[in-house]
Structure 1
Amino acid sequence: MSDLILHHYPTSPFAEKIRLVLGYKQLAWKSVIIPMMMPKPDVVSLTGGYRRTPILQIGADIYCDSALICDVLEPIQPLPTLYPDAHKGLARIVAQWGDSLTFGPIMAFNFQPKGAAEVMGNNAAEWVTAFVQDRQAMRGGAPRMSSSDATATYKSYLRRLSDMLSDQPFLLGDQPCVADFSAAHPIWFTQHRTPSVASVLDATPLVKAWLDRMMAFGHGQFTEISSGDALVIAHQSTPTPLGDEPFQDDHGIPLGSEVVVAADTFGTEPTTGQLVAATRTRLTLRRSEERAGTVHVHFPRIGFTLKKAST
């Protein structure tokens, strides 16, 4: 199998989720640091438009969205598992809650003035303006939740997590699962990226202790390569042959059609390509681009929309 290449940047919460999964599974990987905001020409060369962080590259296969990346890493290193048999469905449901419902309010809390000042650091005013505009574009112009509403919501979520940890070290038992990694990453941002507002965690010491246990998994073994090197690897590789999982047609769009896939919320930049697989869990587009060559770009079903490309 080709190397695991993670395209990410250090302060990305969803990238931290995957870095911790790689550490938990003790996988070796290559690190490509990408820009925090657009333009991201090398990322777009690989994905065709999708710009959220992180993405996982394995040769000429490009995997978008952290939920799908977890599914891809599981068979590569089955143990320790992210999906224990006793809680397989529940683990995915709680993970989706962590990645979607909790993420927005927690990040709105983190980006109150004191926290935002820590994130922005000593960057020039032009950079700060560009960053704010970039995130507004990712939200489709929707306003961020107010700090006061975000604070109340965050405290409620922390109490719920604390209740889940009252008699066990991880959310669903004695071992972590995908739910833990999905719930941890925005709280990691509070603790490690905006420490001036991290006192919100003091009322739930069980959550703080759990977060310490999650951080102890580390990031595994990795070496750094450039985005240019990653593009060369993609160009010199061939997409992995598609499996024999049945075609699931929920849209009336046959395989081989030119289609558009986009996230349904937040970062909805579209990717256009030839639909070569549509299984019960994922969509795969074949794309050809001068710098990346021919690649397969994979998306999860949940959280993404599929439609036929305009002719």
Structure 2
Amino acid sequence: MRQTAAQGHDMSDDQALILHHYKESPYAEKVRAFLGYKQLTWRSVITQRIAPKPDLVALTGGYRKVPVLQVGADVFCDTRLILAELARRAPQPSSQALPGHWSEVVGHWVDVNLFGRVVEFTFGQNVDHLPDAFLADRAALRGAPLDREALKKAVPLAEQNLKAQLAWIEIGLSGLHPFINGEHPGPGDFTLYSTLWFARVGRFDFTRFPAIGAWMERLRDFGHGTPTEMSA
């Protein structure tokens, strides 16, 4: 009988889950939270936040973003693919999107709309603490300069937009179900959670949104599974 890699069970070395990531990445937090929900054992490789990333790009064939999941000779470079692969390997507890709920719709909305507002807010809030090299790296990625003063000035509007958009999520989470997906979290829960986790990095005040705060605590309580540090 074949065992799955769930509930904290270790895997053979050739099938070990190796996550290349860094602590501050919201995309990486999405995967870490999912690993926690699935109660998985995994190996943690911390990468640099900015280029050059010789070990990572050698592994991926030139892809430099995080997170990257490595399983044996297979490499997964997109959070949707990573979550799908983890769910395939550890089907329980279920993370399948349920019909009649808003998990997939919310996930898409976060990706195309909310995430940009959160990045504007968090970058603007923390810009005085960001090294010049980090801003130059992100400017190169987006193909446009990043000006510290412009980032600061964008914070009030970004915060206003963020509050307006969170108002309808607050209403939805004030209902009968503990998660956006219903009785158990789905992909949209983790997409929204990691984005709002990044807003907390920017010190966004969630006191006006108690249902969102409680929902975030439910997801936070799953932890990050059982990671073991390793070098690249």
TM-score range, shorter chain: 0.7 to 0.9
User: Matched residues, percent identical?
Assistant: 39
Q: Does 1:65 align with 2:78?
A: yes
Aligned to 2:229: 224
Q: How does 1:123-142 map to 2 (within 5 A)?
A: 128-141=131-144
- Measure, in 2, the Cα distance between the counterparts of 1:2 and 1:91: 30
Structure with bigger strand share is: 1
In the alignment, is the contact (CA less than 8 A) between 2:170 and 2:211 conserved in 1?
Answer: yes
AA aligned opposite 1:36: R
CA shift for structure 1 position 87? 4.9
CA shift for structure 1 position 152? 2.1
Aligned to 1:176: 185
Q: How does 1:87-106 map to 2 (within 5 A)?
A: 87=100, 90-106=102-118
- Measure, in 2, the Cα distance between the counterparts of 1:158 and 1:95: 14
- Measure, in 1, the Cα distance between the counterparts of 2:97 and 2:192: 17
- Structure 1: 5+ residue stretches without partners: 121-127, 228-311
Q: Does 1:213 align with 2:218?
A: yes
Deviations 1:152-175 (A, max 9, x none): 221122112112101122113222
Bigger Rg, which one: 1
- Measure, in 2, the Cα distance between the counterparts of 1:137 and 1:42: 20
Aligned to 1:116: 127
Q: How does 1:21-40 map to 2 (within 5 A)?
A: 21-40=34-53
Aligned to 1:273: none
Task: Choose from 153, 160, 167 the match for 2:161.
Answer: 153
- Measure, in 1, the Cα distance between the counterparts of 2:78 and 2:91: 20
- Measure, in 2, the Cα distance between the counterparts of 1:165 and 1:102: 17
Deviations 1:154-210 (A, max 9, x none): 11221121121011221132221111100011211222x233xx22x2211111111
AA aligned opposite 2:74: D
1:78–1:142 CA distance, 2 compared to 1 (3 A): farther
In the alignment, is the contact (CA less than 8 A) between 2:98 and 2:182 conserved in 1?
Answer: no
In the alignment, is the contact (CA less than 8 A) between 1:170 and 1:176 conserved in 2?
Answer: yes
Deviations 1:113-135 (A, max 9, x none): x4334x53xxxxxxx11100111
Aligned to 2:32: 19
- Measure, in 2, the Cα distance between the counterparts of 1:157 and 1:82: 25
RMSD: 1.9
AA aligned opposite 1:182: T
AA aligned opposite 1:100: V
Q: Does 1:82 align with 2:95?
A: yes
In the alignment, is the contact (CA less than 8 A) between 1:116 and 1:194 conserved in 2?
Answer: no
Deviations 1:19-62 (A, max 9, x none): 00000000110000000011111110011121111010001111
Which range is displaced more, 70-79 or 95-104? Answer: 95-104
Structure with bigger helix share is: 2
Alignment length (residue pairs): 213
In the alignment, is the contact (CA less than 8 A) between 2:97 and 2:181 conserved in 1?
Answer: no
